[in-house]
């Protein structure tokens, strides 16, 4: 059930089928010379829509903004503060909880470290605040990399490379504009830099040339299957003591 397409009665009827909602987070971020700035958002939202075809599930509108540090100097990237990201997730969950939702799957298509930690921190704070909810926070890219080990040829693929190029070639081929050279960032270990693009000029981490639509289809299917299993696990989850 795609929330933005539902009427009020349809939303109310949906609550009789499920109390679980999928919250897709993405970013407006450079993805090399060939992929759209919405790549992370597209991947997260597409997975949710495919999951909802298999099990009862509300899918919230995609959040297209995230915290983007290493790509902040590249043209087109729009980054929000981690504090803003945390408050956004917390406000959305609070509102949906008042509407009757109880299980929250937060899936981020953007894999930036500070971005992911902000969502996890917000989830922990929500658990303490709202005693009736269950919440999971997962990264779409991590699922694709882990489940697609036998498919991916690029050992260190991480951004706008083989995986993401494949995913967009599958779901939105019209948005792929050629390709980009294979590239890996060269940030100095432990040293913070102002001009991040100087250490990562093309904004690619991997080899886009190895991307194919067929790999994208297979990777999407694997991620969808993992999210279906996660939804079922969360709905059945009960807190237990470690002692």
Residue 200 is part of a domain; what is its CATH number? 3.40.50.10310
Domain assignment of residue 2, yes or no: no
Domain assignment of residue 74, yes or no: yes
Q: What residues contact residue 175 under an 8 Å CB cut-off, 6+ apart?
A: 35, 36, 42, 168
SS3 124: helix
Residue 241 is predicted with a pLDDT of 61
Domain assignment of residue 5, yes or no: no
Domain assignment of residue 105, yes or no: yes
Among residues 192, 141, 134, which one has the least CA distance to residue 18? 134
Domain assignment of residue 226, yes or no: yes
Upper half-sphere CA count for residue 99 (Cβ side, 13 Å): 24
How do the pLDDT tens digits run along the chain, 243 residues long?
Answer: 999 999 999 999 999 999 999 999 999 999 999 999 999 999 999 999 999 999 999 999 999 999 999 999 999 999 999 999 999 999 999 999 999 999 999 999 999 999 999 999 999 999 999 999 999 999 998 998 888 889 999 989 999 999 999 999 999 999 999 999 999 999 999 999 999 999 999 999 999 999 999 999 999 999 999 999 999 999 998 877 655
Among residues 7, 56, 48, 47, which one has the least CA distance to residue 144? 47
Domain assignment of residue 12, yes or no: no
Domain assignment of residue 11, yes or no: no
DSSP label of 67? -
Domain assignment of residue 212, yes or no: yes
Residue 146 belongs to what H/E stretch? Answer: helix 140-147
190: alpha, beta or left? (left if phi > 0; alpha if psi -120 to 50): left
The reported pTM is 0.95
Residue 239 is predicted with a pLDDT of 77
Spatial separation of the C-alpha atoms in residues 196 and 186, rounded to whole Å: 10
Tally of domains within the chain: 1
Residue 59 belongs to what H/E stretch? Answer: strand 58-59
**111 CB neighbour count, 10 Å cutoff:** 18
Cα dihedral 51→224→182→194 (10° resolution) = 70
DSSP label of 209? G
Quote the domain boundaries for residue 215: 19-185+192-235
């Amino acid at each position: 059930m795609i929330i933005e397409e539902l009427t009020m009665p349809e939303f109310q009827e949906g609550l009789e089928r499920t109390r679980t909602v999928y919250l897709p987070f993405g970013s407006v971020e450079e993805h090399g010379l060939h992929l759209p700035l919405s790549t992370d958002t597209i991947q997260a939202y597409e997975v949710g829509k495919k999951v909802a075809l298999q099990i009862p599930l509300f899918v919230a509108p995609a959040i297209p903004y995230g915290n983007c540090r290493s790509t902040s100097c590249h043209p087109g990237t729009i980054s929000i503060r981690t504090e803003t990201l945390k408050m956004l997730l917390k406000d959305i969950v609070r509102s949906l909880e008042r509407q009757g939702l109880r299980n929250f799957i937060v899936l981020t298509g953007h894999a930036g470290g500070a971005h992911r930690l902000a969502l996890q921190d917000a989830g922990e704070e929500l658990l303490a605040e709202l005693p009736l909810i269950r919440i999971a926070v997962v990264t779409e890219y991590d699922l694709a990399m882990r489940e697609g080990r036998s498919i991916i040829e690029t050992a260190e693929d991480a951004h706008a490379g083989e995986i993401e190029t494949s995913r967009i070639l599958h779901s939105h081929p019209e948005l792929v504009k050629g390709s980009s050279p294979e590239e890996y960032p060269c940030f100095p270990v432990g040293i913070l830099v102002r001009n991040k693009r100087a250490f990562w000029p093309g904004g690619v981490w991997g080899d886009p040339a190895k991307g194919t639509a067929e790999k994208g289809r297979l990777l999407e299917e694997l991620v969808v299957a993992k999210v279906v299993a996660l939804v079922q696990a969360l709905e059945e989850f009960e807190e237990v003591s470690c002692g």
